[in-house]
Amino acid sequence: MYRYDQYDQQIVNERVAQYRDQVRRRLSDELAEAEFRPLRLQNGLYMQIHAYMLRIAVPYGLLSSRQLRMFAHIARKYDRDYGHFTTRQNMQFNWLKLEDTPEILADLASVEMHAIQTSGNCIRNITSDEYAGVAADEVADPRPYAEILRQWSTFHPEFAYLPRKFKIAVSGAKEDRAAIAVHDIGLSVIKNAQGEVGIRVLVGGGLGRTPIIGSVICEFLPWRHVMTYIEAIVRVYNQYGRRDNIYKARIKILVKALGIEEFKRQVEAEWVDLKDGLGTLTNEELNRVSSYFTAPAYEKITDVDPDLASYKSENKAFANWLDQNVKPHRHPGYAIVVLSLKKTGAAPGDASAEQMDAAADLADQFSFGELRITHKQNLVLADVKKSDLITLWKIATANGLASPNIGLLSDMISCPGAEFCTLANARSIPLAKMIAARFDNLDFQHDIGEIELNISGCMNACGHNPVGNIGITGVEKKDHGEWFQVSLGGSKGNNSSIGKIIGPSFSFNQVPEVIDRLLQVYLRERIEAERFIDTVRRIGIKPFKEYVYATEIAGGQEEGISVFKPAPYSVPFYSQRF
Amino acid sequence: MIIKNKAIVNDDWAVLRLAENEAPENVTVPAGKVIVPLKVWCAQQEKLQDRDDLGVWFASDERPEALKNDIGKFTVIAVDFPKFGDGRGYSIAYNLRARFGYAGELRAIGDVLRDQMFYMQRVGFDAFAPRSDRNIQDALKGLNDFSEAYQAAVDQKSPLFRRVQRNEKTSADL
């Protein structure tokens, strides 16, 4: 993985010093909260309901065991022994004190990490494919481009106060695993007929209140122009994006208002002056950065491990895990292992300090000391020898990291929700837990097969609800109760689509039954091995809608408000919401 | 007092801002060194043409192209930041410098705070009028927050990777 040189380290160290001084000025009231707010946000620090939350950048989701151990250390020393992995491949700590945060950033800088631009109206942490470098369908490794763009966007002087946040995702495989179609800019590294590497550029995708699939602005951009072309896009956006209404300020609204043709014309007019200028990427720099992403020292081994098959036939739990959580690797004898952070009863994406240490140990022992964070809030060990799988599984199981549910119903995405977040209308994590408990039966989950259930506590869609096969969104109603809208038919990947809302919203307690009914329709209507999403696409949402609303669901109207109970935390400053 | 070329200096330019009942066409531009709104320059250009003690300031929603043909006339151009979160002024500055070749003083006015000044300096501002309720000595420190930057900008036309020899992966990184 990429390692800092003296320049990277110096920039991050100077950031720590700058931030330390900003906190000092805030604590002495030299800075008003309104002025401190954008500064702390550009450093990933939010003021949440109970405490400060710090979001730490994990560039394109790639993490060393040493860095993960630092997370465990921070969880123990400054937080409540756990952290939360996010859908943007980052890490969040929820229970921090403002005065501790400079020290935390210094700790992070010591392991080549930071929280730069993890929030605020700037270019955010760049995300990528969790299987980069090991996926069989990869055209080119996206990570060098992601790192080059990380550096380019870090403290970009012109783009720190954009109309709104700006998210870039890069994929380099045939199958898009980075949800590039729902990013402000989505990049796909491709090769043309001559075998030259270039980038297909999407712009104006996004989730939130107005979910939109991105439009192609350039079919094939030679790789050396990647930075100047993006600079042109962001400059047009910075000047013309709406600033009068926060809900209409994302680039997707500008692209939609102008139309992709006119937007492209403006971008290319801007780009003419930049093209082939000093900002153009060089062979030397691409090679330099790429040198950090070469394959590890794989052993030459046979692809088939005889012990695996026999152990699999004897042990159903292992067999389930092997089928669900272990993915094909492009090097013979190796496999990709997904460590599940979706154990029934746990908050999706949460990991305890012990689990983080255990995962770091597993990485050191079995996977060249590296891990990846997935946008589905799990961990990946990308380079595991098949002959190590049995031992790895036993250790992972002992640490609660081996729930065999990757890609299944209980592998839900959930945002932190109203217990933590000031934006949310409703709780997400307790709902995710309730759903996981109701459908805990693994055989049932296997029967349902591949499905994406995504939950967000509000329209901002941190939990990717618009692209969930089933999407659940906390909505605001006049009674200030806790209500959820259910949508159907969303999906990520090459065939991305935005889900459609099935009808009036439901109370917290009704949602599991709604999901049950949706699944019943699927089981009734599916043809052979058809996936849930394919059935929805074939028959439309009408049969689902009819069945869900056919008879009353217990826990309805009158409970919509009364179910709103305080979060089980004792904190000094309690939100008025509860 | 303003900050200019990284030093605190006396400033004898006045900034003309229109009151609510004033219109760009008929507002009286006072004598002496004055920075007028772009709108006033455009509306009264014939009358103001021959004055050599005039500067122009841009509102954040105005386009640098508007001054394209007259840019050589001015030794002072300012860009107003109505609130610090409005980042359009950074692109205005970039365009004035990089695209239209403006070489005179480029001054940030309005809601100008210490923690934005490092970025402002990189996109071409060389003069800053920090908000009047702030200590100008403290504000000056903001220009030195970082000693190096990755990307090309107006102050440093070449990105880091073209300027220095950077590390490749070595065995020590393993």
What's the pLDDT band for B172 if we cut at 50, 70, 90? low
Contacts of A116 in chain B (CB under 8 A): none
Shortest Cα–Cα distance, A245 to chain B (Å): 13
Q: What CA–CA distance (Å, rounded) separates B95 from B101?
A: 8
Please compute the mean of the pLDDT values over residues A439-444 and round it to a whole number: 94
User: What's residue A481's pLDDT?
Assistant: 78
Q: Residue A278: closest CA among chain B residues belongs to which residue?
A: B158
Q: Do A151 and B94 touch (CB under 8 A)?
A: no
pLDDT(A477) > 80: no
Inform me whether the C-beta atom of residue B65 falls under 8 Å from chain A C-beta atoms.
no
pLDDT (tens digit per residue) in A265-316: 999 999 999 999 999 999 999 999 999 999 999 999 999 888 999 999 999 9
Reported pTM:
0.94
Tokens of A324: 């669900």
Mapped to the 3 state alphabet, what secondary structure does A532-553 carry?
Answer: HHHHHHHHCCHHHHHHHHHCCC
What's the pLDDT band for B171 if we cut at 50, 70, 90? low
Give percent of chain A with pLDDT exceeding 70.
Answer: 96
The kind and range of the H/E element at A45 are strand A45-47
**Long-range contacts of the stretch B39-48 (C-beta < 8 A, 24+):** B40/B16, B41/B67, B41/B70, B42/B66, B45/B70
User: What's residue B4's pLDDT?
Assistant: 97
Cβ-contact A385, A367 below 8 angstroms:
no
Q: Do A162 and B90 touch (CB under 8 A)?
A: no
Q: Residue A22: closest CA among chain B residues belongs to which residue?
A: B115
Sorted by where each begins, the domain ranges of chain B are 2-147
Contacts of B166 in chain A (CB under 8 A): 5, 7, 285, 288
Place of tokens 């410098």: B97
Tokens of A381: 């060990």
Look at residues A446, A477, A471, A443 and name the one whose alpha carbon lies nearest to residue A456.
Answer: A471
pLDDT(A558) > 70: no
**Residue A568 has what DSSP assignment?**
S
Taking every pair of Cα atoms in chain B, the longest distance, rounded to a whole number of angstroms, is: 72
Write the CB contacts of B139 (distance below 8 Å, at least 6 apart in sequence). Answer: B3, B113, B114, B117, B128, B130
Place of tokens 């969880």: A75
- Looking at A2-16, A333-347, A471-485, which range is the least confident one? A471-485
Count of beta carbons in the 10 Å neighbourhood of residue A540: 13
pLDDT(A574) > 80: no
State how far the alpha carbon of A122 is from the alpha carbons of A38, A114, A210, A455, in Å: 10, 15, 20, 25
What's the pLDDT band for A421 if we cut at 50, 70, 90? confident
Tokens of A340: 């599940």
Contacts of A279 in chain B (CB under 8 A): 151-152, 159
pLDDT(A560) > 70: no
Look at residues A139, A148, A138 and name the one whose alpha carbon lies nearest to residue A60.
Answer: A148
Top-level CATH class of A413-562?
A: alpha beta
Q: Do A278 and B85 touch (CB under 8 A)?
A: no
Mean pLDDT over each residue of chain B, to the nearest integer: 94
pLDDT(B60) > 70: yes
Q: Do B151 and A161 touch (CB under 8 A)?
A: no
User: What's residue A570's pLDDT?
Assistant: 40
Q: What CA–CA distance (Å, rounded) separates A358 from A352?
A: 10
Q: What CA–CA distance (Å, rounded) separates B55 from B32?
A: 11
Cβ-contact A43, A105 below 8 angstroms:
yes
pLDDT(A567) > 60: no
**Residue A347 has what DSSP assignment?**
P
For an interface test with B, give the residue of A23, A148, A161, A230 to mutate (most B CBs within 10 A): A161
Look at residues A216, A130, A127 and name the one whose alpha carbon lies nearest to residue A175.
Answer: A130
Q: What CA–CA distance (Å, rounded) separates A327 from A340?
A: 13
Inform me whether the C-beta atom of residue B169 falls under 8 Å from chain A C-beta atoms.
yes
Q: What CA–CA distance (Å, rounded) separates A231 from A202?
A: 14
What's the pLDDT band for A573 if we cut at 50, 70, 90? very low
Give the B window 4-33 contacts with A, CB below 8 Å.
none
Tokens of B112: 């100008």
Please compute the mean of the pLDDT values over residues A89-116 and round it to a whole number: 96
What's the pLDDT band for A187 if we cut at 50, 70, 90? very high
Q: What angle do CA A47, B141, A161 make, to 5 degrees?
A: 45
**Antiparallel, parallel or unpaired: β A197-203 and A215-222:** antiparallel
Place of tokens 């081996």: A402
Shortest Cα–Cα distance, A291 to chain B (Å): 6
Inform me whether the C-beta atom of residue B151 falls under 8 Å from chain A C-beta atoms.
yes
User: What's residue A216's pLDDT?
Assistant: 98
- Looking at A100-114, A234-248, A551-565, B99-113, which range is the least confident one? A551-565
pLDDT (tens digit per residue) in A203-258: 999 998 899 999 999 999 999 999 999 999 999 999 999 999 999 999 999 999 99
pLDDT (tens digit per residue) in B24-43: 999 999 999 999 999 999 99
Q: Residue B111: closest CA among chain A residues belongs to which residue?
A: A35
Q: What CA–CA distance (Å, rounded) separates A322 from A338?
A: 10
- A94 vs A48, higher pLDDT: A94
For an interface test with A, give the residue of B63, B65, B121, B166 to mutate (most A CBs within 10 A): B166
Contacts of A152 in chain B (CB under 8 A): 150-151, 159
Was domain A127-292 assigned CATH 3.30.413.10?
A: yes
Cβ-contact B128, B145 below 8 angstroms:
no
Please compute the mean of the pLDDT values over residues A146-161 and round it to a whole number: 98
Quick check: helix, strand or coil at residue A141? coil
Tokens of B13: 């330019």
Sorted by where each begins, the domain ranges of chain A are 6-109, 127-292, 306-398, 413-562
Top-level CATH class of A6-109?
A: alpha beta
pLDDT(A143) > 70: yes
pLDDT (tens digit per residue) in B80-89: 999 999 999 9
**Residue A291 has what DSSP assignment?**
G
Shortest Cα–Cα distance, A239 to chain B (Å): 5
- Give the residue ranges of DSSP H helices in A133-207: 143-153
Look at residues A297, A388, A269 and name the one whose alpha carbon lies nearest to residue A335.
Answer: A388
Was domain B2-147 assigned CATH 3.20.20.70?
A: yes
Q: What CA–CA distance (Å, rounded) separates A439 from B40?
A: 69
Look at residues A103, A108, A44, A106 and name the one whose alpha carbon lies nearest to residue A71.
Answer: A108
Burial of A443 (0-12, 13-18, 19+ CB in 10 A): exposed
Asked whether the ipTM of the predicted complex exceeds the cut of 0.85, the reply is yes
Q: What CA–CA distance (Å, rounded) separates A287 from A283?
A: 6
pLDDT(A572) > 70: no
The residues pairing with B133 across neighbouring beta strands, listed in sequence order, are none
Q: What CA–CA distance (Å, rounded) separates B147 from B137?
A: 19
Tell me, yes or no, if the two domains A6-109 and A127-292 fold the same way: no
Q: Residue B143: closest CA among chain A residues belongs to which residue?
A: A18
Mean pLDDT over each residue of chain A, to the nearest integer: 93
Q: How close are the terminal C-alpha atoms of chain A, in Å?
A: 44
User: What's residue A420's pLDDT?
Assistant: 84
State how far the alpha carbon of A469 is from the alpha carbons of A88, A342, A532, A533, in Å: 19, 18, 8, 6
Q: Do B90 and A3 touch (CB under 8 A)?
A: no
Instruction: Give the CATH number of domain A306-398.
Output: 3.90.480.20
Q: What CA–CA distance (Å, rounded) separates A314 from A272?
A: 65
Please compute the mean of the pLDDT values over residues B112-129 and round it to a whole number: 97
State how far the alpha carbon of A139 is from the alpha carbons of A60, A298, A341, in Å: 17, 20, 29
Quick check: helix, strand or coil at residue A127? strand
Count of residues making up chain B: 174
Please compute the mean of the pLDDT values over residues B58-78 and round it to a whole number: 95
Tokens of A227: 């930075």
Phi then psi dihedrals of residue A237, to 5 deg:
-65, -45
Write the CB contacts of A528 (distance below 8 Å, at least 6 apart in sequence). Answer: none
Q: How close are the terminal C-alpha atoms of chain B, in Å?
A: 53
Cβ-contact B174, B168 below 8 angstroms:
no
Q: What CA–CA distance (Å, rounded) separates A56 from A40?
A: 12
Give percent of chain B with pLDDT exceeding 90.
Answer: 92
Q: What CA–CA distance (Å, rounded) separates A556 from A505?
A: 10
Inform me whether the C-beta atom of residue A34 falls under 8 Å from chain B C-beta atoms.
no
Quick check: helix, strand or coil at residue A419? helix
The residues pairing with A114 across neighbouring beta strands, listed in sequence order, are A57
User: What's residue A35's pLDDT?
Assistant: 87
Shortest Cα–Cα distance, A205 to chain B (Å): 22
**Antiparallel, parallel or unpaired: β A350-352 and A197-203:** unpaired
- B3 vs A480, higher pLDDT: B3
Inform me whether the C-beta atom of residue B59 falls under 8 Å from chain A C-beta atoms.
no
Cβ-contact B139, A148 below 8 angstroms:
no
Inform me whether the C-beta atom of residue A286 falls under 8 Å from chain B C-beta atoms.
no
